[in-house]
Structure 1
Amino acid sequence: MGASNAASTTVSNGSNWLKIVILALVILVSGYAVIVMYATGEYAFAILTLLIVSLGVYVFTNSKTYAHRYIFPGVAGMVIFIIFPLAYTIGISFTNYSGSNLLSLERVQGYHLRQTYLAKGGNYDFSLIKADQDRFKLVLKSELEPEKIFVSQSLKLWDAGEIKSRKAKPEDFPYADGGIQLRAADAVPEGEKAALREVISLRTHLQTLSATLPSGVDLSMSGLRKFAALRPLFSRLSDGVVLENGTIISDPNTLRNNQTNQLLRPNYYDGFYQYIDANGEFVGDALPPGFTVSIGWDNYWRVFTDKGIQGPFMEIFVWTVMFAAGSVFFTLAIGMVLGNLVQWEFLGGKAIYRVILILPYAVPAFISILVFKGLFNQNFGEINMVLEALFGIKPDWYTQPALARTMILIVNTWLGYPYMMILSMGLLKSIPEDLYEASAMDGAGPVSNFFNITLPLLIKPLTPLLIASFAFNFNNFVLIALLTNGGPDIIGATTPAGTTDLLVSYTYRIAFEGAGQDYGLAAAIATVIFILVGAMAILNLKLSKLDNKV
């Protein structure tokens, strides 16, 4: 008995130590991930990771929250994959985040500060002459006066592999601070000339060098075989500046153009650096790239006030509702009728018909869509060939809005009716045969039985699935993207918009197509879609409850 208790205690202690080790590893890995995310500016993801891990540690280490351990993974998944993306999207909708305003202010400022211009002093061709082992002499020749040659002392240069192994920073390189003094020479020193491949390997170090001519002009590397008198185009005025009219600009992000002596400041409304005049007013064009700034409700106002967005948005919204409702209606009607037919007792070969009718559901949707795209081709498609042979017409399926929408409904009905047929076949078996026998005694036929018995008894259990089908088709992005890509385009739209676009494909095109790639506007439209779909879902649920009460 004592030995058994000792063994049990040993196993329990081992299990506890294993839990402690796993918990410590989770905390260490997640802590490192949070630090990396924070260091790279991904503050939202860092906070989310910290919150989820901290809550998880609390739940799994506290005896009072023992029962919550089983639902925590589900809750964490909902937060990570539903709540956080939704909140992140809503946050983006209040900014000017776009293809031209991707970066933060700090990164845009750093980009401008790295710009250079060619100052007085000219360009020089350079070569490296090998001295002892890994040491080189830098030789410069003036482009305008090739007879002028300048040579440096013997230099120790690090290649890319040595820099990586040393984890060196530019300030750690030899000669990074003091620079190099060049002297005039009559001829190029004797020695082996470094090949271009070796120059490329040494490029990181060479770019940190500052070579000074006897005249006092400083040169730096401007190409794989060039040194030039490059100067920073912009410099930061961290203490602000006083303008000619006495106005004090205290913004520490103000920059000065060292070539023209003009001042430029970040325009916090447009999200770009822009030059200012003597009165501190913004003038001239904005300097790309832009940075992300908060613009309040502007994106939402654009949706409802900009004619180039409002008109297409409302047209696409109406078509989206019609498409989703039409898809549900046609797939239900055809699926229910076919489900009744294959269950008909006088029909022979039912099994064969069932297999044939269910086949469209077995084929991957994207294959069927691409097949139909070829079938509906205006010039070479089989559908137009048949229509031309029978009726002498060749419809423009992809250029006429009405025909394009009709084509989409036809294809989606083909893809969706097998699902409804399978559901109907299963539900038909639950209807008592007594009802049909009593109806037959009253003289009712098959059509009357369908509308008076079958349809009412099938619709009620199908209602939740019809709501789900409506929601799926409301966001049926794959069908639109593969079949028409939203075309034909809506005339007068200021954003990418087509007559067959659904709201989801319209949002995608705004975000990822066109020159602007307006993510902020796309996020605002996505938020509006969420509100609309949520409202319709709540309305459907309330209507379903009312039907149940009746």
Structure 2
Amino acid sequence: MQQITHSQSGLKWLKMFLVGIVLLIDFYLVGLMYLQGEYLFAMLTLVILTSGIYIFSSKKVYAWRYVYPGMMGMAIFILFPLVATIAIAFTNYSGTNQLAFERALTVLQDQRFFAGDKYDFKLYPQENNQWKLSLENKNTGQFFVSDNIHLSDHNVAVHEQEQAPTGEVAPLRIITQNRTALQQMVVSLPTGNELTMSSLRQFSEQKARFSYEDSLQDLRNNETGKVYRPNYDTGFFQEIDDQGNWLSETLEPGFTVTIGFANFLKIFTDSGIQKPFVQIFIWTVVFSALTVVFTVILGTVLACLVQWEPLQGKGIYRLLLILPYAVPSFISILVFKGLFNQSFGEINLILHHLFGISPQWFNDPLLAKSMILIVNTWLGYPYMMILAMGLLKAIPQDLYEASAMDGASTWQNFSKITFPLLLKPLTPLMIASFAFNFNNFVLIQLLTNGRPDMIGTTTPAGYTDLLVSYTYRIAFEGSGSQDFGLAAAIATIIFLLVGGLAMLNLKATKFKLD
């Protein structure tokens, strides 16, 4: 019994030791991320590892270990990207402002400039895997030669002599192979000046371009004498005059700062963004709504036709009509892109032969939008048709028999019985389809890439862009700097809109959240 007690005590101490080790690693990683300015990642790591240690080491919450992986997966892949996107929307995060202040300062302090003459260098192989380093100043004709050294030496002294050493010279291949070691080498001249490798054939005196004054947070350019101070409104080190007033010149890279609701205000106040945003928002709503209307109508009509009793070969028709749903959408989109080609597409060839016209599908905004609706209707109607086929089976035949006794026509049966009874169960699916097409990035990107482009906008925007593709172009196709903060603000608005649609969908399906 005593041995069992000692064994249990030993396991307990081992468990505590392992938990302590994991916690130390956890705090180390969190501290490292925090110092690098990655606050969100630090918080995520702290929450996941700390909660995981507690759940898997405590018997009080034993049952939670079975749902912990799923909860953490949701936190990592759903909640964290959402929180990160919303957080970025309140910053100036962009192609020029991606780093934390400390990291941007380090990058600037690492910059060097040439502060003296350049020296061509050569390496001469010696015995025992040693080398002689020879430097030649082309301007003065001076030669400086080292004693026998290893390429791994970090500090090398050279002395002046009248001419370069004689013997075999190492080829460029040897220098390239040992470039890393040579770049770490510091060569001291007799005058005390220090040289570092500046190219594959030259050493030169390089000095730090900027020196930092902690008290004022000023960066002084040692080459030009200009002084820069961090501007926390713009996220750049900006030049100042002797009185501390801001001048126009800024340094890159900039740093990330919180700017509040500036990105959201820019969407509605900057005319170069407001105009395309409003137009694209309206088109996104119209596109999503018309796609739902067209696919529901076409799908329902075809479902009624393929289930019409007098129709022969219904199985073949069903198979042919469902085929667009079986083919990957990106393949169908690219096929349609070729069919609508303005010069060689089959659609324009047929229209030209029949009516003598060749529509500019990709250049005219109205035609481009019509083309997108046609293609998306083709891609979406099989889904609605399959749903309608199943729902039609649930409609009591007694209703049709009663209407036949009253002398109702086929259209009256469809408009008074079939469609109303289909509409109610299809409503949640129509809302879901609207939300899906609201963010139908693949269709726009592959078919038109948002073009034709709008003229006179601050950000890249096209007449066929949806909000999601417009956001993508702002983030990754900006001609100036990639404005991730503005893109995140628009993405946040999209999230709120789609989230509202999701709540509407839940309400439509009468799903109660307790």
Structure 2 CA distance, aligned partners of 1:67 and 1:216?
Answer: 70
Pairwise CA distance, 1:284: 3.4
Moved more, 412-421 or 433-442: 433-442
Measured after TM superposition, the shift of residue 532 of structure 1 is 2.1
Q: 1:231 to 1:26 in 2, by over 3 A?
A: closer
Superposed displacement of residue 474, structure 1: 0.6
Residue type of the alignment partner of 2:124: I
Superposed displacement of residue 143, structure 1:
1.1
Q: Once the 2 structures are TM-superposed, how far is the Cα of residue 535 of structure 1 from its aligned partner?
A: 2.8
Are residues 1:527 and 2:492 paired? yes
Which of 192, 195, 207 is the aligned partner of 1:219?
Answer: 195
Number of the residue aligned with 2:162 = 186
Deviation at 1:329, TM superposition (A): 0.6
Matched, 1:143 2:108: no
Gaps of at least 5 residues in structure 1 are 1-8, 159-172, 241-249
User: Which amino acid in the other structure matches residue 496 of structure 1?
Assistant: P
Comparing 531-540 and 446-455, the one that deviates more: 531-540
Specify the code of the residue in structure 2 equivalent to 1:153. D
- Structure 1 position 197 matched with structure 2 position 161: no
CA contact (8 A) 2:432 2:502 kept: no
Determine the structure 2 residue equivalent to 1:537. 502
Write the distance in 2 (CA, Å) between the matches of 1:351 and 1:30.
63
Q: Show CA shifts across 1:378-426 (max 9, x none).
A: 1111111111222221111111111111110100000000011111111
Name whichever of 504-513 and 216-225 sits farther off.
216-225
What CA deviation, in whole Å up to 9, does each residue of 1:76-132 have, x standing for no partner? Answer: 232222221111111101111111112222232222222222224x22111122233
Find the aligned partners of 2:412 and 2:368 in 1 and give their Cα distance: 36
Contact 2:36/2:102 (<8 A) preserved: no
Per-residue CA deviations over 1:481-540 (Å, capped at 9, x if unaligned) read: 000111111222110111111111110110011232100000011111112222343345
- The one-letter amino acid of 1:493's match is T
Q: Structure 2 CA distance, aligned partners of 1:450 and 1:234?
A: 79
User: Is residue 194 of structure 2 the alignment partner of residue 230 of structure 1?
Assistant: no
2:21 and 2:267 mapped to 1: Cα distance? 44
The residue number in structure 1 matching 2:464 is 500
TM-score (norm 2): 0.90
1:90 matches 2:86: yes
User: How far, CA to CA, are the matches of 1:340 and 1:25 in structure 2?
Assistant: 67
* Alpha-carbon distance between aligned partners in 1 of 2:29 and 2:305, rounded to the nearest angstrom: 59
Whether 2:401 is the aligned partner of 1:405: answer: no
205-214 vs 448-457, which moves further: 205-214
Could you tell me which runs of 5 or more consecutive residues in structure 2 were left unpaired when the two chains were aligned. Answer: none
1:383 is the counterpart of 2:383 = no
Letter in 1 for 2:496: I
1:167 is aligned to none
Separation in 1, partners of 2:25, 2:279:
47
Q: Distance in 2 between matches of 1:35 and 1:200?
A: 38
Question: 1:190/1:472 Cα in 2 relative to 1: closer, same or farther (>3 Å)?
Answer: same
Confirm or deny that 1:131 pairs with 2:126: yes
Task: Give, in angstroms, the shift of residue 456 of structure 1.
Answer: 1.5
1:426-445 equivalent positions in 2, closer than 5 A: 426-445=390-409
Q: Equivalent residues in 2 for 1:102-141 (5 A)?
A: 102-120=98-116, 122-141=117-136
1:481 aligned residue:
445
What is the correspondence of 1:28-107 to structure 2 with a 5 Å cutoff?
A: 31=26, 37=33, 41-107=37-103
Match of 1:369 in 2: 333
Alpha-carbon offset, residue 255 of structure 1: 1.6
The structure-2 alpha-carbon separation of the partners of 1:60 and 1:430, relative to structure 1 and needing over 3 Å to count, comes to farther
What's the secondary structure of 1:123's corresponding residue?
A: strand
Q: What does residue 150 of structure 2 align with?
A: 156
Cα distance in structure 1, aligned partners of 2:107 and 2:22: 36
**Correspondence for 1:331:** 295
SS of residue in 1 equivalent to 2:205: strand
Measure the CA separation in 2 of the matches of 1:415 and 1:26.
55
In 2, the alpha carbon distance for the partners of 1:375 and 1:512 equals: 29
Cα separation, 1, equivalents of 2:279 and 2:388: 34
- Provide the identity percentage: 57
Amino acid at match of 2:248: G
Aligned partner of 1:210 among 186, 208, 211: 186
Q: Which amino acid aligns with 2:71?
A: V
Cα pair distance change 1:194/1:28, threshold 3 Å:
farther
The answer on 1:313 being equivalent to 2:277 is yes
The 3-state SS of whatever aligns with 1:59 is helix
- Partner of 2:211, secondary structure, is strand
**2:258 paired residue among 281, 286, 294:** 294
CA shift at 1:451, angstroms?
1.3
For residue 221 of structure 1, give the secondary structure of its aligned residue in structure 2.
strand
The whole-number CA distance in structure 2 between the counterparts of 1:213 and 1:49 is 50
| Superposed displacement of residue 193, structure 1 | 2.4
What is the CA distance between 1:305 and its match in structure 2? 0.5
Structure 1 residue aligned with 2:416: 452
Specify the code of the residue in structure 2 equivalent to 1:208.
Answer: Q
Corresponding residue for residue 490 of structure 1: 454
SS at structure 1 position matched to 2:134: strand
Distance 1:458 1:368 in 2: 28
Structural RMSD (CA): 2.7
DSSP 3-state at the match of 1:156 = coil
Contact 1:131 1:191 in 2 (8 A): no
| Separation of aligned partners in 2, 1:46 and 1:27 | 15
Q: Could you tell me which amino acid in structure 2 is paired with residue 528 of structure 1?
A: I
2:95 and 2:248 map into 1 onto residues whose CA distance is 21
> Could you tell me the TM-score, scaled by structure 1's length?
0.84
Secondary structure of 1:227's counterpart equals strand
Aligned counterpart, 1:273: 237
SS state at 1:378 partner: coil
Do the aligned partners of 1:30 and 1:50 also contact (CA within 8 Å) in 2? no
Please say if 1:415 is aligned against 2:379: yes
